[in-house]
Amino acid sequence: MPNRLIDEISPYLLQHSTNPVDWYPWGKEALDAAKERDVPILLSVGYSACHWCHVMEKESFEIPEVAKIMNSGFVNIKVDREERPDIDSIYMKAVQTMTGQGGWPLTAFLTPSGQPFYGGTYFPPQPRHGLPSFTQILDAIQSAYTEKKEAVFQNASEIQQLLEQNVLKKSPQEIAETLSHTEGQNLIDHSLAFLATRFDPIHGGFGPAPKFPQPVVLEFLLQNYSHSHSSKTLNMVEHTLTKMAEGGIQDHLGNGFHRYSVDSQWLVPHFEKMLYDNALLSRLYLHAFQLTSNQEFKTTAERTLDHIVQDMSSPEGGFYSALDADSEGEEGTFYIWTKTEIYKILGDTLASLFTSYYGVSDMGNFEGKNVLYISQDLKNIAEKEGLEYNELQQQLEKARELLFQVRESREKPFRDDKILSGWNGMAIRALAEAGGALDNDTYLKSAIKALNFIFSKMRKNDRLLHCYKDGKTSGYGFLEDYAAIGNAAVAVYEATLEPHWLDEIKWVTDKIIELFWDQEKRIFFDGPVDGEILIVRPRDIMDNATPSGNSLAVDLLLKTSQLFGNDYHREISECVLDRETPLMTQFPSGFGRLLTVLDRSLLPKTTVAIFGDQENVMTKKLLKILLSFYNPSRTIAGKGTHQILEHQVPFLQRGTANPTRPEVQICNEHSCRPLVSDLESLKKQLQFE
């Protein structure tokens, strides 16, 4: 018999709908049941692409004897962290406070009112590696709740107080004291020095295994290099991007990046693919190409964007969330090869070239099989084999295509086909920027289609929705959703100059301030002011796998303060940057996006006004030139011959479209350059921005 999860839209919850556990989705029914029965709540949080979530399900949640203990002694709640990031954020902080560590699956034990008093992550079916078994934990919690209830509630109350204190972090006096030492450029310099101490000069990236790409941190370094011209800063980015692109963390047959590497050298990945990783990494590689003209970075950006468009697009236009790590019941099975398989498919000559380049061996590098990675320079193989470089490239492309076709016949990893507005915003922004910078119409059309989908299918009652699947939606949007979609709308507007996007940008920014900004406390919350009342109002200001909603909002408002001349947007941005300075100083690697925004706020502002109808061929050519140059502090807007904009863009009021030819004017802070109408003159001005 299916349990209560059978009516949910989350693929992760549906995966658990046939467990013998009497699962509840999060909600009033579950909390009321716990109060009525006077039993603790067992909260289990995970997501569909999580390998260890699947392991714990098989080992415990599918076992009738374990389910019987869970059902008799607890109200069991299953949560998809991607569908309810607010709940995940609160209880992850609680478990980290209690144990010093966190992760998924997240296992937390709560009082009937929802206060956490104990927790952990994965628990095995039998005691091992210093971990008690899951059933031992269940028995201990039941005993404590029955025999030492007063102590349990006291512990829960203390954790509640810590969570409430965590919301505000610092007092105004503490902020002022810290600002005197680390504000502005001092904080930027301090953060650069800190990241340099964490940098791995051999393999790239930061810290030991397991190694995560950290695209928001690398974006900060790259942006800083664009004006500091520090070779040390650029080296950290270039070396990391090169090593990641060569490693097994990139899918060399089917494109896109896996979640992270279990080793320090990007060789063996954890095989899930997440939409947000590929959105953030494709944008990072695009910007690296724009700044360095490194063609390998361009190729990697395109391959990653192709993965999003080809593998993650829904027919309606939005982008799906993730591809699982597992298939055929095993991790990575879809992606790995034996040397014998490759020789059988390719034949001796082609297989010899392929296995040399992609590091394939008889012993393998992952459970007796091979994760493909670039093991040596292509030119060395060409020289060794007596082949022309281009000929070798063609041979390898042929081999990749043959192996890809065979791989397509395998059982594919599960695809989580829910559509999240925030993650879609990150993908749309990357596609729109790439569409403009690379003059790629496919990317731009995909971005526009997805953004139209969000505003048409994921907006209801004048509110953005968080999640969509098969025509059903769940929950109003969070700060991350609004801010990511707002940034995406800006990117699409700048790539098209279609004026109706200005209306949507204005709508999003108004909603962000109305729903999430607390003027009295001078902070952003992640949940809306009229959202579900939880034990604390969620506020997670540090970047995790994705940039925080807080940093995305400041990113957007700093941009719109320039676009619309809105001083209130600028004041909010500066207020947040000032407030978060103490924590940015302590944990620079946790604030990559906010550091990027801070760095940008210190740069001279550039506005570019394009006077000419957006459908004019010459207008498009001028815009193409503009978008090909990387300038993070630049804001672009356009005005047609007879166009009246509902939302005024102040720097467009300086001129009117010339009926005979489109023109561009670049202004830096308080001075403007002469209007230009030819491509070469525009290029010269851009080279000296």
Which amino acid is located at 150 in the chain?
Answer: E
The answer to whether 624 and 678 are in contact (CB under 8 A) is no
The answer to whether 25 and 41 are in contact (CB under 8 A) is no
List the beta bridge partners of residue 469. 472
Instruction: Kindly compute the dihedral angle of the four CA atoms of residues 137, 141, 147, 149, in this order, to the nearest 10 degrees.
Output: 160
Could you tell me which of 279, 316, 312, 308 has the C-alpha nearest to residue 457? 316
Which amino acid is located at 511 in the chain?
Answer: K
Question: What pLDDT, on a 0 to 100 scale, did the predictor assign at position 167?
Answer: 74
Question: What pLDDT, on a 0 to 100 scale, did the predictor assign at position 670?
Answer: 78
Per-residue pLDDT reduced to its tens digit, 571-626: 999 999 999 999 999 999 999 999 999 999 999 999 999 999 888 999 999 999 99
Asked, colleague to colleague, whether 4-168 and 606-687 share their fold, the answer is yes
3-state helix, strand, coil in the chain (%, to 5): 55, 15, 35
Per-residue pLDDT reduced to its tens digit, 204-239: 999 999 999 999 999 999 999 999 999 999 999 999
| Separation of alpha carbons 306 and 325, rounded Å | 20
In terms of C-beta distances under 8 Å and separation of at least 24 residues, what long-range contacts does 247-252 make, across chains too? Answer: 247/373, 247/374, 248/365, 248/371, 248/372, 248/373, 249/213, 250/300, 250/303, 251/307, 251/335, 252/358, 252/372, 252/373, 252/374, 252/400
- Would you state the structure tokens that stand for residue 540, as one six-digit string? 């997670």
Residue 182 has pLDDT above 80, yes or no: no
The answer to whether 239 and 204 are in contact (CB under 8 A) is yes
The answer to whether 116 and 95 are in contact (CB under 8 A) is yes
Residue 169 has pLDDT above 70, yes or no: no
Question: What pLDDT, on a 0 to 100 scale, did the predictor assign at position 165?
Answer: 85
SS3 270: strand
| Separation of alpha carbons 528 and 479, rounded Å | 7
Question: What pLDDT, on a 0 to 100 scale, did the predictor assign at position 653?
Answer: 83
List the beta bridge partners of residue 517. 524
List the beta bridge partners of residue 653. none
| Separation of alpha carbons 18 and 600, rounded Å | 50
Give the pLDDT mean for 668-686: 90
Residue 179 has pLDDT above 60, yes or no: no
- Would you state the structure tokens that stand for residue 667, as one six-digit string? 């202004």
Q: Where are the domains of the chain?
A: 4-168, 179-327+416-601, 335-409, 606-687
Q: Give the CA count within 13 Å in the CB-facing half-sphere of 340.
A: 3
Residue 170 has pLDDT above 60, yes or no: no
Confidence of residue 183 (pLDDT cuts 50, 70, 90): confident
In CATH terms, the fold of domain 606-687 is: Glutaredoxin (3.40.30)
What is the rounded average pLDDT for all residues in the chain? Answer: 94
Confidence of residue 386 (pLDDT cuts 50, 70, 90): confident
SS3 229: coil
| Separation of alpha carbons 247 and 211, rounded Å | 12
In terms of C-beta distances under 8 Å and separation of at least 24 residues, what long-range contacts does 282-285 make, across chains too? Answer: 282/308, 282/430, 282/434, 283/215, 283/219, 283/426, 283/429, 283/430, 283/433, 283/434, 284/215, 284/218, 284/219, 284/222, 284/241, 285/241, 285/245
Question: What pLDDT, on a 0 to 100 scale, did the predictor assign at position 263?
Answer: 96
Which residues make Cβ contacts (< 8 Å) with residue 270, sequence separation at least 6? 51, 210, 258, 259, 260, 261, 262, 325, 331
pTM of the predicted structure, to 2 decimals: 0.94
Q: Going edge to edge, which strands form the sheet with 273-274?
A: 273-274, 322-323, 415-416
Give the right CATH number for 179-327+416-601 from 3.30.450.20, 1.10.10.60, 3.40.718.10, 1.50.10.10: 1.50.10.10
Question: What pLDDT, on a 0 to 100 scale, did the predictor assign at position 645?
Answer: 64
Confidence of residue 490 (pLDDT cuts 50, 70, 90): very high
Residue 176 has pLDDT above 60, yes or no: no
Residue 558 has pLDDT above 70, yes or no: yes
Confidence of residue 395 (pLDDT cuts 50, 70, 90): very high
- Would you state the structure tokens that stand for residue 273, as one six-digit string? 């693919």
What is the separation of C-alpha 254 from the centre of its chain, rounded to a whole number of angstroms?
A: 20
Q: Going edge to edge, which strands form the sheet with 606-611?
A: 634-639, 606-611, 663-668, 671-672
The answer to whether 552 and 487 are in contact (CB under 8 A) is yes
Lowest mean pLDDT among 311-325, 385-399, 417-431, 638-652: 638-652
Residue 172 has pLDDT above 60, yes or no: no
Per-residue pLDDT reduced to its tens digit, 108-150: 999 999 999 999 999 999 998 788 999 999 999 999 999 999 9
Residue 662 has pLDDT above 70, yes or no: yes
Give the pLDDT mean for 38-49: 96
The verdict on domain 4-168 having CATH code 3.40.30.10 is yes
Residue 414 has pLDDT above 80, yes or no: yes
Per-residue pLDDT reduced to its tens digit, 351-361: 999 999 999 99
| Separation of alpha carbons 76 and 39, rounded Å | 10
Give the pLDDT mean for 80-107: 94
Lowest mean pLDDT among 9-23, 162-176, 284-298, 301-315: 162-176
